[in-house]
Structures are given as C-alpha cells and as structure tokens.
Chain A
Amino acid sequence: DIQMTQSPSSLSASVGDRVTITCRASQGINNYIAWYQQKPGKGPKLLIYAASTLQLGVPSRFSGSGSGTDFTLAISSLQPEDVAVYYCQKYYGAPPTFGQGTKVEIK
C-alpha cells in the first residue's frame, strides 16, 4: 500500500501568519490527493481535491500544490477559526489512505 507521511505533526503560529503543511507519498500518486480539516467533535470537512482545487465554499486563504510524491497545504493568513487538525488523503489506487494529521494551534 502507498503510505502518506504528513509533517509537522503539530504547529503553533500567530494570527495572520502563513502556515504550510506537507504530505509525502511513498510512491507517485499523480495529483490524486485531498486535504481535510477536522475540528473537535466533528466529522472532517473537505478543503481541497486534485491537489489544488478548492472545494466550493472554502475560503481562498487555503491553497494546495504539488504533484507526484510531494504536496503542500497552505493557509495564507491564519485565522482563529482555522484551529483544527488537517489530514491529507491519497485516492490513487486502493485503499484510500490518510496522513497522520497536523494539529494547528494559535500562538
């Protein structure tokens, strides 16, 4: 199975900072990656699919990039409501697999 390695596992940043989270696939997955945001006690919310396509309704401060094995989720200006755990997920081949998650906090 293709493994997804996400980093960092946690980060703390100030409101307004640019934040980046990376996800590396153990083999090439083209651009078949999605990113989710999960707030405490809730189901995850789709942010980005196909590596860089923003899901409808998601604020434009979120962006995704990458292809092949290395991918990035960026938040251009961190807001208090962005406190959450973020997961990447590959959907190239079976089974779909998730990264370990990145917990984002406000400094």
Chain B
Amino acid sequence: EVQLVESGGGLVQPGGSLRLSCAASGFSFSSYSMHWVRQAPGKGLEYVSAIGHTGDRTYYADSVKGRFTISRDNSKNTLYLQMGSLRAEDMAVYYCTREMGNWQYYDFWGQGTLVTVSS
C-alpha cells in the first residue's frame, strides 16, 4: 500500500525557517518524481515545488522561489522541503504528492502537515 506521511509542521515566526519531511513507503520511491502542494486555511490547492526522481531537476512556484528548497534522499525514501524567510501567506497545510506517469498530476497524496506562520 502506498503511503506518504508528512511531518515537521508547526508554529514559526515570520522570517523563520522550517523543514518538512515526507516518508514514503509501499512503492519504489526512487522511480517517481515528487511534489509539494499546499492549501491555505479554507482555500484551494496551490503547487509549491517538484523534484525529479534522481533529484537532479527541481522546480518551484514563483511565490516560493529563492526561499524554499526541495530535496530527497532515495536511500531513506524521504522527501524534504526546506522553507525559509517564511511569510504569513505561507501558512497552509502542506501535502506531499506522487507524480503519476511523468505527468504533473498526482495519484497519491499524504494527509498533510500544517505550517502556521505567526508572531
């Protein structure tokens, strides 16, 4: 069974940093590109970042470019999102997602981890 389990969310002050993790199981993690998608409270879904299956290609939404870094450790079946210079508008539930078939849509999602940015 495919499982994606996010962790690392919490309360952080504006300007602060946080690292999210996503532990993957039930599939060959190193064969899939992975993404982060977020959802602000009561709002819709927003693409954040993507990484190729080997980690050599990374992509970012304009809203997080230069502040967030996506990475992966295929030996640990884990995806990461290092978030810096956090702003109030970054407050959201962050979902780890698996890209399906080399197309940028998602056949599996985690349960999400909440990031709260507040002083």
Contact = CB atoms under 8 A, between A and B. Distances in A.
A98 B44 CA distance: 8
Identify which of B47, B59, B97, B112 gathers the most chain A CB atoms within 10 Å of its CB. B47
A45 B109 contact: yes
B103 A46 contact: no
A99 B61 CA distance: 16
Interface residues of A, number: 21
B95 A43 contact: yes
A95 B103 contact: no
Contacts of B59: 94-95
Interface string A82-95: 00000101010011
Nearest to B109: A43
SS of A interface (majority)? loop
Contact of B45 (A32, A44, A45, A55): A44
Contact of A46 (B35, B45, B105, B111): B105
Closest 7 CB pairs of A and B: A43-B109, A34-B105, A91-B104, A98-B45, A96-B104, A91-B105, A96-B47
Interface of A: 32, 34, 36, 42-46, 49, 55, 87, 89, 91, 94-101
6 contacts: A44-B95, A46-B100, A91-B105, A95-B61, A96-B104, A101-B44
Given A49-B105, A96-B47, A97-B47, 9 more contacts: A36-B45, A43-B109, A44-B109, A45-B109, A46-B100, A46-B106, A91-B103, A95-B59, A101-B45
